[in-house]
Amino acid sequence: MLHIVNKSPYERNALDAVLRIAQSGSLLLIEDGVYAATRGSTAEARLAAAMPRLKVYALLPDLEARAIADRVIAGVTPIDYGGFVDLVAAHRNCQSWL
């Protein structure tokens, strides 16, 4: 399953829910969700702990818009909109966690 998170981990608990529940597949961070992908953040360790189970992506246009594209955690793959479409097509199902 492709799990999509669009809220900041500091404002909502959607990311924590995904990291607790999702056992395999991919996690795509978009919109304010991309703040979780930054080095030195309190979300970094939690995200890193899930990486053996989940492949993690972040939407590059959203990273760039928020001026954090230069501080993405190692192991998180930045993707463009075309990559977003490819990810959706590559997974059997997806869940947008609001």
Partner 1 sequence: MFVNRKAPYGTVYALESLEVVLISAAFEQDVSVVFVDDGVYQLKKGQQTKAIETKNFSPTYRALEGYDVEKLYVERESLAARGLTEIDLIVDVTVLGAIELGKLMDEQDVVLSC
Residues of this chain that interact with partner 1 (CB under 8 A) are 1, 13-14, 17, 20-25, 93-98
> Nearer to partner 1 by C-beta: 48 or 94?
94
Smallest separation (angstroms) from partner 1 to the CB of 39: 27
Complex with partner 1: residue 42 or 93, whichever CB lies closer: 93
How near is the Cβ of 13 to partner 1 at its closest, in Å?
6
Query: Minimal distance in Å, beta carbon 53 to partner 1?
Result: 9
Burial of 40 (C-beta count, 10 Å sphere; 0-12/13-18/19+): exposed
Across the beta sheet with 26-29, what order do the strands follow? 76-79, 55-59, 26-29, 2-5, 94-97
Q: Answer positive or negative: Cα dihedral of 50, 52, 55, 59.
A: positive
Nearer to partner 1, 17 or 49 (CB): 17
